[in-house]
Structure 1
Amino acid sequence: MADTTHTDQGNRLEHYPVTFFATIMGMTGLALALHAAESSWGLGDTASTVIYFVALAMFVLVSFGYALKALKYPKAVSGEWHHPVRIAFFPAISISLLLLSTASLGRITVISEPLWLVGMLLQGVLTVAVVSAWIGARAFQTGHLNPAWFIPAVGNVIVPIAGVPLGYPEISWYFMSVGLIFWVVLMTLVMNRLIFHDPLPGKLQPTLVILIAPPAVGMVAWLRLVGDVDSFARILLNGAYLFTLIVAVQLPRIVKLPFAMSFWALSFPVAAATIASFQYAMKTGSAAHQYIGSGFLIVLVVIITALVLKTLRAMAAGQICIPE
């Protein structure tokens, strides 16, 4: 029996997915969204601080698990890197570092800059590596393209959010430029795939929500870089609202699908829209956007709660870390 259990644990470690880092993005996004709400409404920071430490602990645990997998099953990691869908989730590691750096500002300032530096460098390397893989010798097909391909681009526009207050404006402009350029390119490709080709497979349907993230995160980063709301910031925010409405129409169908870890893609984009709304409200004094941000926050809390419960149930039922 012990040998069987050991083998089962080994198999589960071998199938430990890089997509687990999307849970860190979601939880850290919740911490940042709560902090934005607390600042906008003049509340204390207890709730956001608690979620911040939960996200930090989750990052340590998830990173340890994936590092262990890399040591024991390097071929499995290589297989994920060469997977046409999962390769896009590797930058979720660097994005998690960048988000934790942002959330650490004003809390544990001493770790904010090291987290940002490591995350920024890793994001730069992964962006070049992933894009090189996309345009390299691999035979990607139209069916492989999905909104998760935005993840490497979104990671770049996150860099300025902590980079500017930490004193790195020029490198922040570089990553912002890269992120915006790839957002335009990938938006064209993804919309073409969604409109003119077969629907996304069931497990990838939740990634449609990722469409909200680039303009929402881009708006927050743009405010960091230019300091105030301008015409481009308004375009980005309203673009995020448009994609929110488009995704909202699809949600009743998406939530009926069987649970998979890809459902965590629902969390971070909603968090980004929440933060962008509160940032706009604080910069302009717009009560309407303050209430919009609050509405997004309520939805986000419901989503995160449901995702945590469903993930725990799936883990208890042995439905996580299994071959696809």
Structure 2
Amino acid sequence: MQTMAAVTKQRSIGSIQFLPVNLFAAVMGISGLSLAWRQASQLFSVPTIIADISGMIAILLFIVLGIGYLWKWALYPHKVKTEFMHPIIGNFYGTIAVAILLLSSIVGVYSKHTGQVIWIIGTISALVLCFVFVTRLLNGNFEPVNKVPASLIPVVGTLDISVAGGTMPFPWAHEINLLSLAVGGFVALVFFTLIFSRLIHHAPMPTGLTPSMIIMIAPFEVGFLGYTNLEQRIDSFASILYYFGLFLFVVLFFKVFRKSNPFGASWWGVSFPMAALSNAALKYAMFVDSWLLIDVSGIILVLLSLVVVILFIRTTKLLFSGNLLKQ
């Protein structure tokens, strides 16, 4: 009877073969939330309890999703290969590398050596994925309609190397951070131009991909964080990156957050760019020390927190209703 009940429950939840790789964006968003609240503890003198709890959730979620996706790979390798080779879905594999890099910063708070090992793994993963996706682009036969905002994820992964590794003690870390900013920055510029052209000159994206438009702010806010970590200062160039990302977020906010856009796992694509914006806003507010910018950073942090909580609740409901892990 217990076996039958377990089988029935498994069927009601769905099949592991339909586990979407874009769920790793949830780890990115929750990790970014943890890092934002840790910065907020310095600016607003709030306890680090929210940062600690969200950080633990991000770590556990990555472990669960990692085991789940390895299981999927073992049972349905053809599905994993098909997804990886897909011109749009394949980009979401970059979320795994970004998640690892962000988790290195979270774990590093409790164990510097473990955080450094995780950063090295994330760095290698991000650079390899960026190489693969840039190579694909140069293979030819490229369909402009397939260049969607999610294409920026592997590029953002490269930029995140310097975000998480700005304080790494290794003698070679500085050059790796420079490499990541050089590759990520210039490739992001190319991809951003292609995506912008696609959005202007071609038909609107499917509603399921509309939330991913927020990803377009990520290169600017992640670039701001990576650049300022490397230079250990905020100059005019960094300010320009931050302000353009903020402007673009306001523009895209009213296009993305509409009731007409159906909810799905792809909605987690809004969480990490918003987390990057929140971290950048907090860092910039501490530098400028302006009450207006401090208020703006607080508003963005609250908005990010609400979005992550709502996404978590709705995804959990989607899972147990059997609609998350189904074709």
Relative to structure 1, is the Cα distance of residues 42 and 14 closer, same or farther in structure 2, using a 3 angstrom cutoff? same
**Aligned partners of 2:13 and 2:325 also within 8 Å:** no
Looking at both structures, which has the greater relative contact order when contacts are Cα pairs under 8 Å and sequence separation is at least 6?
2
Cα displacement (A) at 1:5? 4.6
| Structure 2 residue aligned with 1:187 | 192
How far, CA to CA, are the matches of 1:200 and 1:62 in structure 2? 27
Identical columns (%): 28
Cα displacement (A) at 1:133? 2.3
- Any residues of structure 2 matched to 1:126-141 within 5 Å, and which? 126-136=129-139, 139-141=141-143
1:312 and 2:320 are equivalent in the alignment: no
The two structures have a TM-score, normalised by structure 1, of 0.94
3-state secondary structure, aligned to 2:326: coil
| Structure 1 residue aligned with 2:146 | 144
| Structure 1 residue aligned with 2:34 | 31
Unaligned runs of at least 5 residues, structure 1: none
The two structures have a TM-score, normalised by structure 2, of 0.93
How far, CA to CA, are the matches of 2:113 and 2:260 in structure 1? 44
| Structure 2 residue aligned with 1:260 | 264
Number of residue pairs aligned between Structure 1 and Structure 2:
321
3-state secondary structure, aligned to 2:177: helix
> Which stretch has the larger CA shift, 83-92 or 112-121?
83-92
**Aligned partners of 1:33 and 1:274 also within 8 Å:** yes
**Aligned partners of 1:280 and 1:286 also within 8 Å:** no
Q: What is the identity, as a one-letter code, of the residue corresponding to 2:32?
A: G
1:46 and 2:62 are equivalent in the alignment: no
Cα displacement (A) at 1:126? 0.9
Relative to structure 1, is the Cα distance of residues 252 and 48 closer, same or farther in structure 2, using a 3 angstrom cutoff? closer
**Aligned partners of 2:100 and 2:119 also within 8 Å:** yes
Choose the corresponding residue for 1:13, options 12, 16, 22.
16
How far, CA to CA, are the matches of 2:27 and 2:45 in structure 1? 26
**Aligned partners of 1:84 and 1:140 also within 8 Å:** no
How far, CA to CA, are the matches of 1:8 and 1:81 in structure 2? 26
1:78 and 2:69 are equivalent in the alignment: no
Cα displacement (A) at 1:204? 0.3
> Which stretch has the larger CA shift, 80-89 or 1-10?
1-10
| Structure 2 residue aligned with 1:282 | 286
RMSD: 1.9
3-state secondary structure, aligned to 2:15: helix
- Any residues of structure 2 matched to 1:64-213 within 5 Å, and which? 64-136=67-139, 139-167=141-169, 168-213=173-218
| Structure 1 residue aligned with 2:296 | 292
How far, CA to CA, are the matches of 2:15 and 2:312 in structure 1? 20
Residues 230-277 of structure 1, C-alpha deviations (whole Å, 9 max, x = no match): 011011001111111111221343x43221101001111111111101
Residues 103-162 of structure 1, C-alpha deviations (whole Å, 9 max, x = no match): 22322323210110000001111111122223326x442221210001011111111122
Unaligned runs of at least 5 residues, structure 2: none
Q: What is the identity, as a one-letter code, of the residue corresponding to 2:241?
A: L
**Aligned partners of 2:108 and 2:115 also within 8 Å:** yes
3-state secondary structure, aligned to 2:86: coil
